[in-house]
Amino acid sequence: MATPLVELRNISIAFGGIKAVDNVTVDLYPGEVVGLLGHNGAGKSTLIKCLSGAYRRDSGQILINGEEVQINNPRDAKALGIETIYQALALADNVDAAANLYLGREILTRWGTLDDVAMEAEARKVMGRLNPNFRRFKEPAKSLSGGQRQSVAIARAILFNARILIMDEPTAALGPHETQMVADLIHELKRQGLGIFLIDHDVHSVKKLCDRAAVMKNGQLVGIVKVDEVTEDDILAMIILGKRPDQLTPKDKEAVH
């Protein structure tokens, strides 16, 4: 089999005694979408923040294309082509959409000054793909709706030709139409060969969008399954009971149903 794009090996991280992520191993192949599921506080966001450079893991290895890499801050991750849409959105509220899209990677004029007009033009292009109704390019991010902010966060992640995309509940604030556009986007990015980690609580959409699903419970990995080899109930059982489909008793199946 080909080398995985990303391998997270035996990742552990604790916050003051609480093991938020406990010895988790997951991999991700190019052109693949891996869903991360689990109850609230299971450790999904914490795990992917180790990959995006927001947290420093206590132990474990990260491999990109089979080579071990050091990711100590968000800049390291971005340099490796890892882009992240955070659950908390991570927008600067006081600057506009274009400034947020390009935060940390501004377009400069040949004088070395900010090229706001060029950034706005690019912003209009990419937002047009994601959310054609978006008009408020001049307003600070705090005056945008939750869904509009979400669109900006998504746009920012796809703007820089990522190889690895991390999406932490990207459709949480979106309407049905925008959710569909994100689903289309995921399909397209997948076709382009990106690897995507998708955190989502909706088992139904995970089954539709993902190739594999990794389920976490209390910081530990319950198991990784191919979504077309299991039923939605099987995944639900993993989330709620913390048991893989082959570990389920008939009584368990009753309970989930």
Chain positions contacting another protein, by CB under 8 A: 52, 54, 73-75, 78, 84, 86, 88-96, 99, 103-106, 108, 112-114, 117-118, 120-121, 135-141
Task: Supply the minimum distance, in Å, between the C-beta of residue 42 and Mg ion.
Answer: 8
C-alpha–C-alpha distance, residues 244 and 156, integer Å: 36
Interface positions, 1-40, toward ligand ATP (CB under 6 A): 15, 18, 20, 38, 40
Q: Measured from the CB atom, is 20 or 130 closer to ligand ATP?
A: 20
Task: Supply the minimum distance, in Å, between the C-beta of residue 47 and another protein.
Answer: 16
One-letter amino acid of 158: I
Starting at the edge strand that comes first in sequence, how are the strands of the sheet with 33-38 ordered? 82-85, 164-168, 195-199, 33-38, 212-217, 220-226
Q: Measured from the CB atom, is 32 or 200 closer to Mg ion?
A: 200
C-alpha–C-alpha distance, residues 248 and 251, integer Å: 8
Single residue of 12, 45, 100, 148 touching ligand ATP by CB under 6 A: 45
C-alpha–C-alpha distance, residues 11 and 27, integer Å: 12
What are the helix (H) ranges across the chain? 44-52, 74-79, 97-101, 116-130, 146-158, 176-191, 203-209, 232-241, 250-256
Task: Supply the minimum distance, in Å, between the C-beta of residue 45 and Mg ion.
Answer: 3
Q: Which residue is nearest to Mg ion (CB)?
A: 45
Q: Measured from the CB atom, is 39 or 129 closer to ligand ATP?
A: 39
Single residue of 37, 38, 45, 213 touching Mg ion by CB under 5 A: 45
Q: Give me the sign of the Cα torsion angle 75, 114, 158, 90.
A: positive
- Chain residues that interact with ligand ATP, rule: CB under 6 A: 15, 18, 20, 38, 40-46, 87
